[in-house]
Amino acid sequence: MADVAVPVARSPIRPVGGSTVVDGWERAAGPPRGALRLCDLSFLAKVQVRALRSGTAADRLGTGLGRAARRSSAHQLVIGSGPGEWLVLGPQGQGSALVEELERRLVDASGLISVVDLTHGRALMRLTGSDAVRGVLSKQCAINFADRVVPDGASLRSTVASVTTDIVRDDLGGERSYLLHCERSSGQYLFDTLLDAGRFHGIQACGATRSDW
């Protein structure tokens, strides 16, 4: 990815520990550190698909309600975020391409279908670490995050610090990790609140690396 001097897009979350510009996006530059980490991934492409809850479109997207699965060939994470509602995450800068690809895949599916690029309208962050991650989330969310209730690959929508948030359990190399996706205007608040809630556990804000995606 080529660095340019002037960002054309900014995350709703202020970069912590310096920033860099990657392909037009201003991103936090701090390296990952500590056992418990929070990083901003708002630069990833985020596309919402709405279609019939069951049928051709649901079959082609391949992920049911409450689950998230990777399409490794396309570097996509398909999240069943609601009944008849999916969120597809892709690499930075791929929003338009992702919309076109999804529209092609669903062109002859039955029922009304909408595919919308939400990249610049939402905030996305990743909370990674040991079991302390559960403790941090439990301070702000009423969901039981035990493995039997929210295993790796599970997805749900609830409130975190009173902000409606999509929560996706997406472990990284065996390390417990959650993606948190909310409205752009609530992103900074949610980020700050999680940092505050994790202070006791030694949480660190850091920049994203390739392994975070």
Partner 1 sequence: MIRIPCPFCGLRNCDEFVNKGESKRRPAVGAASREEWRAYLYDRVNPEGWVRERWYHRAGCRRYIKVERHTFTNEIRRSEPAGT
Smallest gap from Cβ 142 to partner 1, in A, equals 5
Give the number of residues written for the chain. Answer: 213
Binding of partner 1 by 142 (CB under 8 A): yes
Q: For the window 2-41, what string marks contact with partner 1 as x by the rule CB under 8 A?
A: ----------------------------------------
DSSP secondary structure letter of residue 199: G
In the numeric block, the tokens 């597809």 are attached to 88
Residues in 146-175 that interact with partner 1 by CB under 8 A: 156-159, 164
Which single residue is written with the structure tokens 């409606």?
164
User: DSSP assignment of 5-40, as one string?
Assistant: SS-SEE-SSPPSS-EEEETTEEEE-PPP-SSSEEEE
Residue 156 CB, shortest distance to partner 1, in Å, is: 7
- Residue numbers 59-118 binding partner 1 by CB under 8 A: 65-66, 82-83, 85
Select 28 or 167, whichever has its Cβ closest to partner 1: 167
Angle at 185 between CA 115 and CA 44, to 5 degrees: 50
User: Would the CA dihedral through 113, 79, 117, 103 be positive or negative?
Assistant: negative
Beta carbon nearer to partner 1, 154 or 197 = 154
Which DSSP category does 97 fall into? H
Size of site (CB under 8 A) for partner 1 = 11
Q: Minimum distance from CB of 211 to partner 1 (Å)?
A: 31
Point out which residues bind partner 1 (CB under 8 A): 65-66, 82-83, 85, 142, 156-159, 164
